Amino acid sequence: MAFSIPESVWGQKVENKMQKNFSSRKKLSRTWEYIRRKWYKFSRNPLSIVGLALICTIIFSAIFASYISPHPESAGKFVNFSEASQSPSLAYLCGTDRFGRDVLTRIFFGYRYSLGMAVIVISIMAPVGIILGLIAGYYKNSWIDTVIMRITDIFIAIPPLILALAICSVLTPSIFNAMLAISVAWWPWYTRMVYEVTSSLKGEFFVQAAQVTGANTTHILFREILPNCMAPVLTKMSLDVGWVILIGATLSFVGLGAQPPIPDLGSMVADASSYLPDLWWEAVFPAFAIMLVVLAFNLFGDGIDDMLGEEKGG
């Protein structure tokens, strides 16, 4: 692109400023192009768009729960026995539970906890798992590799739900401890995934090229190898949100997770399960809500997978 630098009294300063504008302007259009291209890949499959739409709705309802819920007070300590156990009606779209609390409101607020828990758990366990995987894969066949991977193997061998249950039963039941338990049970999968990619990429020429030039190990791990791992990792993260929510719900179901009156979706199902099939709405709607969020993230995860394939053509 032809671009003339003005000879000017202000000299270098102006040149700097215009250079910066030039490159940042270009950078903006480049970023926009990148986004459009990614969107094209994502939108090839209509189901991914459905997933995205669902997620947006759920996140929206979680964030603005206080504004959109018909009966915001139902989320907390609240009882209203005069309206207890009413079947779905116009006033209470999903009915009320035994305490007179609006089920729909509790679902909205319940999404907050579920999503919040998923985000926190994943943001703790993913980086830990990824870093361990990178190190183990890079130093493959050394003692570092053996130590890390064997520990990982131990954790993988135990089904995550059982492990989480075990940990929770030792600690006092609370939503915080539930998150902790799930994190501990979940990181090994990331480690293993990243380990596979790293150890196979270790011998590739571009890594060798970086080594030959003299790049240090940190750079190689995080700048060269990690970007190549991100595609499966991000897909897995997206699918994991669904899993984490499910496990959290299961923990609450057995009473080890969120405690009342926190409107956790799992506990809602648990509490109401004994009243099936008469007061069906108390259990069915929260269960349906769980299914919806897991489905949404699964569909979205597929789209992410499509989206993050390598850039081809130009």
- Residue numbers at the binding site for another protein (CB under 8 A): 1, 16, 19, 23, 26, 30, 37, 40-41, 204-216, 219, 223-224, 227-228, 230, 310-314
Q: Of 135 and 265, which has the nearer Cβ to another protein?
A: 135
Min separation Cβ 9 and another protein, Å: 22
Who contacts 261 (Cβ-Cβ below 8 Å, separation ≥6)? Answer: 76, 77, 78
- Rounded to whole angstroms, the Cα distance separating 89 from 187 reads 44
Q: For residue 255, is it left (φ>0), alpha (ψ between -120 and 50) or beta? A: left
Min CB(31)–another protein separation in Å: 10
Q: Kindly give, in sequence order, each residue whose CB lies less than 8 Å from that of residue 184, ignoring residues fewer than 6 positions away.
A: 125, 155, 163, 164, 167
Q: Please say which residue, 81 or 205, places its beta carbon nearer to another protein.
A: 205
Nearest approach in angstroms of CB 34 to another protein is 10
CB contact set of 300 (below 8 Å; sequence gap of 6+)? 48, 51, 52, 54, 55, 238
Q: Pick the closer one to another protein by CB: 170 or 212.
A: 212
* 19 versus 273: smaller Cβ distance to another protein: 19
Q: Which is nearer to another protein, 214 or 277 (CB)?
A: 214
Least distance between another protein and beta carbon 173 (Å): 43
Residue 78 C-beta: closest distance to another protein, Å: 52
CA distance 293 to 124: 21
Q: Write phi, then psi, for 54 (nearest 5 degrees).
A: -60, -45
